Amino acid sequence: MTNFKNTLKEISRYPSAIFGMIIILLLVALALYAVFTIPYDEAVRLWRGGEDTVYRNPKNAPPSWFNNFTDKSLPISVAVVAGEDEEFTKVVTPGVEGSSIEYEYSFDFQYDEYPQELFLYIQADYQVKNPFISVTLETPGGEEIRISDFGTSARQTYRFSQDDRLQTRLRRLHGREVLPIQGLFSVPESDPLVINKGVYTLKILASTFEENSDVRIEFVSHGLVFGMFGTDHMRRDLTTAILWGAPIALAFGLLAAASTSVITMLIAAIGAWFGGWVDELIQRITEVNLVIPFFSVLIMVGTFYSRSIWLILGVTIALSIFTGAIKTNRAIFLQVKESTYIEAARAYGASDGRIIVRYLVPRIIPLLIPGLVSAVPSYVFLEASLALLGLGDPTLPTWGKVINDAYTNGALYRGQFYWILEPAILLMITGLGFAMLGFALDRIFNPRLRGM
Amino acid sequence: MTTETNIELAKINRAARVNNAKRLGKFLALRIVMLFLTIVVGIYITILIANMGGYVDTIMRNEIRERVNQQVAAMTASEPMSTEGRSDLVEQMIDIEETRLGLDTPFVLRSFRFLGNALTLNLGRAVHMVSDHGSRAVRNIILERLPATLLLTGVSQLFLFFSTVFLALMLSRHYGSFWDKLIITLSPTSSAPPWFYGIFLILLFAAVLKILPFSGMVSAPPPKETGAYILDVLKHLILPASSLILSSFFISIYNWRTFFLIYSSEDYVDMAKAKGLPSRDIERRYILRPTLPTIITNFALIIIGLFTGATITETVFLWPGLGRTIFRAISLYDTPVIVGTTIIYAYLLAFTVFFLDFIYAIVDPRVKVGGGNS
C-alpha cells in the first residue's frame, strides 16, 4: 500500500503523467457514456444505415458548430413532428365525418445558403377514404406560396425539390426558371437570387373523411450542417462512430497490450526458470516469428478468413508474444533466478509454478507496467491502420473506419476536413494520453532512466 | 627471453589458434544451420497462411470452373452441341487448366514444392498479377516496384537514422537544456503511425495550401526532360518521406539520447573528464566506441527494413512501391508474390544477423565470435 502511495506521489511529480491520466480517464468516461447511451445492438444498427435510420440526415454535412468558424451561416438540419414537437403545432377541428387538422410550423431562416432538401414524411390512418392535404409556405414578406395539394396514401414522402408543379408556380413568382428550394427562400424576382431572410411559416391543412382518421406529419429539412459531429456519405450520423470508437479502441488497445505483455512475461519466466530445451524452444520460436511478416499476416487473415475484430485481436496477440520483449524479460529473469531468496524458496520445497508466479513474476511487474501502457497506442493505431486498408470489422463503428470512409470518398480533395479530423484527433488524443503516461512511468520505474 | 621459450610460446599460440579456428568453425556451422532452419520454418508457416492451409486451392478451382464455363458457353454459342458434350468439354478444359496451375497434386505436396522453390529463390510466376511491362514473373514484379520503395524508405530512414543519432549526441552533451526537455515532451507524439501524419500533411500542404501534390510519384503526364522529371519526383517525395520521418523522429532522438546518457554516466567517462580530456575525444573514444555495436545493429536492421516497404503510407500516398504490391497481392490471393517478398526479407535478415556477429567482434575487442572460452 505504501508502495502504491509512493508511486502515486512519484507520478504526481510528472505533469505529463497527470495530463496523460486525465486524458485516459476522460476517454474511459466517454467510452462508458457511449456504451450506456447507445447499446451495442443499437450502435451496430445505426451504423448499418438504411433509410429508416438516416432519413433525417443530410449527406456529407459538417457538424453544426461549423457555423462558428465560417463567415457564411449554413442552414442547420431540422426534423420536427407535428404535435410532438412544440414548434410544430397541430390543431384538430372535428367535423361531421372526419375532421380538419391544421398544422403550423414557424422557423427563422437567417442563413446564407439554401438547405439541401425539404421533406414531408406523412403517415395517415384511414380505412377507405384517404385524407387530403394542402401545403402552403408563408414567406417573411407575408406572401403565401401554394406548395402542393394531394390525397395522401398511408405512408407518403413529399420532396419539395422534385415537384414540377411547384417549380412552375415559382417560375411565375420569380419571372424565370428557378429550382424549387431556391425559389422558396429567395426574394421574388431577384436576379441573381437573394436569400429572403426572416420568419417562414409552413401551413398544412389536412382533411380527413373518416372518424378516427389521423395524419402524422414530420417536416425534415436537410441543411448543410448537422448535429454535433456531422454525417458521412451514407448519411449516417457520425456521432455513433465517434462515441463508439472510444470503447472499441480502448478495449482493443488495452486487451492486446495487457495480454501480450503478461503472456510474454510468463513465457519468458518459464523459459528462464526451466532452461534447457524449453528455453531453447522459446528462443527458436522467437527467431521464426521474426521472419514471419507481421503486418502481411494480419492483412492475410483479414482478407482470407474474417474481419471480426476479435479474430484480428487474437492474431495480433499471438504474433506479438514471441518478440524481442521475450529476450529482454528473459535476461532479467536469469539475473533474478540467481538471487538468494529464490534459493531459499527452493530449499523449503516450493514448486516450480509457485516460484515462477510468486517469486519471479512480481519482480518484473514494475518494469512491465510502463511497457504495457506505452504499447496501448500502437495497438489502437494498428486497428485503425487495418481499417484504413479496408480490413476493419464491417459491423462495428470505429474511428479507423470513419477515416477509411472519408479517405476513400475523397474527403481531403473535397475539403470535407471534419470527416477525417474528428476521428483522427480522437485517435491522436488517445495515443498521446497513453504514451505520455507510459513515458512517465518508464522514467519512474526504470532506475537507470531516473533523472534523465 | 630464450629461443626455447619462444618456440614453446609459438607452439602454444598455434595450438590455441587451431583450437580457436575449430571452435569458430563449429560455431559458424551451427549458426548457419540454425538460421537456415529458422528461415525454413518461418517461410513454411507463411506459405501455409498465404494458402489458408490449402483453401486458396478451392477458391482457384471455383474461379477456373466459372471462367471455363463462360468460355465454353461463348465458344459453343453458335454451334449445335449436346449438353453432355458441352459438359465433357468443360471438364476437359478444367483438367488442362488445373494441371497447368499444378492443382492436380495435393496441397501438402505442393506446399513443400513451394518451400523448395522459395528457398532456392526460384520465385516462380504470379497467379493474377502482372508487372507494368507485362511480365508474370514474381521477380520482375518485385524488381519493378523495388526502386520506388527504396527511394521512399531509403531517403526517409537514412535521414532519420543519421539526423537522430547526431542530434541525440548533441542533446546528451547538454541534457536538461530547453531543447532536451522539448524533445522529451514531444516524444509521445511518435505513438501515431506514418500514415496518420500523412493524412495531416496532405490536408495541410495539398488540400489547404495547395503547394504540394496529393499523392503519386510523378505528375501525369510525366515531364519529358530528365532534370524536370527528377524535380517532379522529389516534389512528390516530400510529403510521404516527411510523414515517415515525422512519425518516429522524436522518439528516435529520445531513445538514442537516453542510450548515450546511460553510457556517458559510466565511471570511466567521469574518469576521462577528471583527467581533463577534451569533450570531443571523450565522445568519440569513451561514449561512441562502446555504443558502436548497438548503432551498427540498428543501422543494419534499418537497411533490411528498407526492402519491406511501407504498406499503408504507400497506400495513402498512392506510391507505386513494394508495400502496395504486397497488399494488392494479398487481396488477389496471389500467394507466389506474398511468399516471394517474404523469402527475400527472411534471407536478408538471416545474412544480417549472421554478419553482425563478425562486426561485433571487429568493433568490440571484448567480443569473440563463438562466445569466448565458455
Same domain, residue pair B262 and B352: yes
Residue B62 touches chain A, beta carbons under 8 Å = no
* CB-nearest partner of A415 from B202, B207, B214: B207
Query: A384 CB contacts (<8 Å, ≥6 apart)?
Result: A249, A398, A399, A400, A403, A427, B196
The reply to whether B138 falls in a domain is: no
Chain B (334-363) residues lying within 8 Å, Cβ to Cβ, of chain A = 338, 341-342, 345-346, 349-350
- The domain of B108 spans 3-119
**Which residues in chain B have Cβ-Cβ distances shorter than 8 Å to A383?**
none
**Which residues in chain A have Cβ-Cβ distances shorter than 8 Å to B184?**
439
Mean pLDDT for chain A?
87
The highest-confidence range among A33-42, A60-69, A321-330, by mean pLDDT, is A33-42
Same domain, residue pair B223 and B328: yes
* CB-nearest partner of A439 from B187, B193, B203: B187
Same domain, residue pair B309 and B247: yes
Half-sphere exposure of A206 (CA within 13 A, CB side): 27
Nearest alpha-carbon partner for B237 in B207, B217, B208: B217
Residue B214 touches chain A, beta carbons under 8 Å = yes
The pLDDT tens digits for A232-241 are 888 888 998 9
Q: Do A420 and B338 touch (CB under 8 A)?
A: no
Report the gap between the CA of A138 and the closest CA in chain B (Å): 41
Q: Do A389 and B202 touch (CB under 8 A)?
A: no
Residue A315 touches chain B, beta carbons under 8 Å = no
Residue from B181, B183, B191 to probe the interface with A (highest A Cβ count within 10 Å): B191
Whether pLDDT at B255 is above 70: yes
Whether pLDDT at B374 is above 50: no
* CB-nearest partner of B196 from A288, A424, A452: A424
**Which residues in chain B have Cβ-Cβ distances shorter than 8 Å to A388?**
195, 312, 315-316
For chain A, how many residues are written?
A: 452
Same domain, residue pair B93 and B218: no
Query: What whole-number distance in Å separates Cα of residue A273 and Cα of residue A267?
Result: 10
Query: What whole-number distance in Å separates Cα of residue A258 and Cα of residue A332?
Result: 19
* CB-nearest partner of A284 from B38, B189, B206: B38
The reply to whether B336 falls in a domain is: yes
CA distance readout (Å), B96 to A420, B104, B106, B130, B349: 50, 10, 16, 22, 40
**Which residues in chain B have Cβ-Cβ distances shorter than 8 Å to A407?**
199, 316
Q: In this structure, what is the dihedral angle of CA atoms B14, B18, B21, B26, given to the nearest 10 degrees?
A: -160
Same domain, residue pair B163 and B257: yes
* CB-nearest partner of B203 from A377, A417, A428: A417
**Which residues in chain A have Cβ-Cβ distances shorter than 8 Å to B200?**
424
At A451 the pLDDT is 54
Report the gap between the CA of B80 and the closest CA in chain A (Å): 41
Residue A1 touches chain B, beta carbons under 8 Å = no
Q: Do B191 and A448 touch (CB under 8 A)?
A: no
Q: What one-character DSSP code corresponds to residue B285?
A: I
Same domain, residue pair B154 and B106: no
Q: For residues B153 and B309, is the Cβ–Cβ distance under 8 A?
A: yes
The reply to whether B185 falls in a domain is: yes
> Domains, chain A, ranges and CATH?
2-45+236-449 (1.10.3720.10), 64-222 (2.60.120)
The pLDDT tens digits for B54-67 are 788 888 888 888 88
Whether pLDDT at A452 is above 60: no
Residue A295 touches chain B, beta carbons under 8 Å = yes
Beta strands in A208-321 (DSSP E): 214-222
Residue A318 touches chain B, beta carbons under 8 Å = no
Same domain, residue pair B184 and B298: yes
Residue A427 touches chain B, beta carbons under 8 Å = yes
Residue B315 touches chain A, beta carbons under 8 Å = yes
Same domain, residue pair B201 and B303: yes
Here the cell at position A254 is 488495452
Same domain, residue pair B59 and B205: no
**Which residues in chain A have Cβ-Cβ distances shorter than 8 Å to B34?**
284, 287
Same domain, residue pair B46 and B165: no
Q: Do A288 and B187 touch (CB under 8 A)?
A: no
Q: Do B341 and A291 touch (CB under 8 A)?
A: no
At A248 the pLDDT is 93
Query: What whole-number distance in Å separates Cα of residue A201 and Cα of residue A22?
Result: 48
A214-225 mean pLDDT:
89
Residue of A nearest to B349 (CA): A291
Residue B102 touches chain A, beta carbons under 8 Å = no
**Total domain count for chain B?**
2
The pLDDT tens digits for A108-129 are 888 888 998 899 999 888 888 8
Q: What one-character DSSP code corresponds to residue A395?
A: S
Same domain, residue pair B66 and B108: yes
Nearest alpha-carbon partner for A106 in A75, A122, A82, A74: A82
Q: Do B42 and A291 touch (CB under 8 A)?
A: yes
Q: What is the CATH number of the domain that holds B174?
A: 1.10.3720.10
Whether pLDDT at B53 is above 80: no
Query: What whole-number distance in Å separates Cα of residue B261 and Cα of residue B273?
Result: 15
The pLDDT tens digits for B293-342 are 888 888 888 888 888 778 889 988 999 988 888 888 888 888 888 888 88
At B373 the pLDDT is 43
Q: Do B206 and A412 touch (CB under 8 A)?
A: yes
Mean pLDDT for chain B?
85
Residue A444 touches chain B, beta carbons under 8 Å = no
Residue from A280, A282, A289, A291 to probe the interface with B (highest B Cβ count within 10 Å): A291
Name the amino acid, one letter, at A400.
G
Q: What one-character DSSP code corresponds to residue A91?
A: E
Residue from B330, B332, B333, B353 to probe the interface with A (highest A Cβ count within 10 Å): B330
Chain B (168-187) residues lying within 8 Å, Cβ to Cβ, of chain A = 175, 184-185, 187
Instruction: Give the residue, A242 or A7, on which the prediction is more confident.
Output: A242
Cell 537514412 identifies what position? B158
B245-269 mean pLDDT:
87
**Which residues in chain B have Cβ-Cβ distances shorter than 8 Å to A435?**
187-191
Residue from A281, A290, A296, A436 to probe the interface with B (highest B Cβ count within 10 Å): A296
Cell 407518403 identifies what position? A156
Nearest alpha-carbon partner for B288 in B366, B364, B359: B364
Whether pLDDT at B17 is above 80: no
At B297 the pLDDT is 84
**Which residues in chain B have Cβ-Cβ distances shorter than 8 Å to A424?**
196, 199-200
Q: Do A413 and B214 touch (CB under 8 A)?
A: yes
At A403 the pLDDT is 92
Query: What whole-number distance in Å separates Cα of residue A267 and Cα of residue A270?
Result: 5
The reply to whether B368 falls in a domain is: no
**Which residues in chain B have Cβ-Cβ distances shorter than 8 Å to A297?**
46, 49
Same domain, residue pair B299 and B169: yes
Q: Do B312 and A385 touch (CB under 8 A)?
A: yes
Residue B263 touches chain A, beta carbons under 8 Å = no
Whether pLDDT at A23 is above 90: yes
Residue A69 touches chain B, beta carbons under 8 Å = no
Whether pLDDT at B152 is above 90: yes
Q: For residues B233 and B217, is the Cβ–Cβ distance under 8 A?
A: yes
**Which residues in chain B have Cβ-Cβ distances shorter than 8 Å to A431?**
188, 191-192
Whether ipTM tops 0.85, in short, is no
Q: For residues A54 and A237, is the Cβ–Cβ distance under 8 A?
A: yes
Whether pLDDT at B364 is above 90: no
